[in-house]
């Protein structure tokens, strides 16, 4: 079957083309098209999570393809992260709107959002900025485990956990936890449990910078 792959912005520049036609076997999935593209153009995904659309709808890599489908590889949108996944560790600014969109449902009357932001004081010192580092693959796996367990415990429930890495200025959002449920009690309980567990077991580290130096924070404050 024939599939068209479209590339935009930085991905188009990395590949040197904006449109690639592929011949794939019957039964191929989106991930097969991506593998074919990245084999010839590895710089497209260098250090980035690829967001995918099939026929102008966001999908996962396991989505099946049909003859004539159009697949788009989408870089982060200017001004915000394209964090459509419920679990994400990202070097791009986090989007509250994306998190809310991912947990909203017509049957959910309670939606809770927790934002962890960079404060300007800690341990009696003036903080100038923070640096977050993560073992990203393991961090996302652990966050996914937390989310799946809490969604099962409080079902029906939808949970989103997004964490920023890299250098963050005062006031920037470091973490978003959003929970949607039919009633507020489940949404509050799941959001609180999710952020508490994230700070306990997820391999993400914080370095605080102040006027007199920098220190890695070993407790999960």
Domains of the chain, residue spans: 2-74, 87-217
Tell me which of 3.10.20.30, 3.30.70.1890, 3.40.50.150, 3.40.640.10 is the CATH number of domain 2-74. Answer: 3.10.20.30
Averaged over 156-168, what is the pLDDT? 96
Q: What is the pLDDT of residue 45?
A: 60
Report pLDDT digits (tens) over 72-130: 887 654 434 443 579 999 998 999 998 998 899 899 999 999 999 999 998 889 999 99
- Strands 2-7, 70-74: pairing is parallel
Kindly report the pTM of this predicted structure. 0.63
Count CB-CB contacts under 10 A for residue 206.
Answer: 20
Structure confidence by residue, pLDDT tens digits, 27-51: 999 888 988 888 888 777 654 556 7
pLDDT digits (tens, 9 = 90+) for 5-16: 988 777 788 888
14's CB contacts (< 8 A; 6+ apart) are 7, 41, 43, 44, 46
Q: Which of 81, 131, 156, 154 is nearest to 146 (CA)?
A: 154
Q: How many C-beta atoms surround the C-beta of residue 124 within 10 A?
A: 6
pLDDT tier, 189 (very low <50, low <70, confident <90, very high otherwise) = very high
Fold assignment, 87-217: Aldehyde Oxidoreductase; domain 3 (3.90.1170)
What does the alpha-carbon distance between residue 67 and residue 51 come to, in Å, rounded to a whole number?
A: 21
């Amino acid at each position: 079957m024939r599939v068209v792959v479209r590339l935009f912005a930085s991905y188009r520049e990395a590949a040197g083309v904006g449109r690639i036609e592929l011949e794939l076997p019957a039964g191929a999935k989106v991930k097969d098209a991506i593998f074919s593209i990245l084999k010839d153009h590895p710089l497209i995904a260098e250090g980035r999570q690829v967001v995918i659309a099939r026929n102008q709808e966001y999908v996962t890599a396991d989505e099946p393809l049909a003859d004539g489908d159009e697949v788009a590889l989408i870089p982060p949108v200017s001004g915000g992260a394209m964090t459509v996944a419920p679990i994400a560790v990202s070097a791009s600014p986090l989007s509250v709107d994306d998190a809310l969109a991912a947990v909203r449902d017509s049957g959910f009357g309670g939606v809770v959002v927790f934002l962890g932001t960079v404060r300007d004081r800690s341990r009696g010192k003036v903080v100038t900025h923070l640096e977050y580092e993560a073992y990203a693959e393991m961090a996302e796996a652990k966050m996914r485990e937390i989310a799946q367990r809490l969604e099962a415990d409080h079902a029906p429930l939808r949970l989103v956990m997004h964490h920023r890495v890299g250098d963050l200025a005062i006031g920037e959002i470091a973490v978003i936890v959003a929970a949607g449920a039919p009633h507020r009690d489940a949404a509050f309980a799941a959001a609180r449990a999710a952020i508490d567990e994230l700070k306990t077991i997820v391999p993400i580290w914080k370095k605080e910078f102040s006027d007199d130096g920098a220190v890695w924070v070993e407790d999960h404050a």
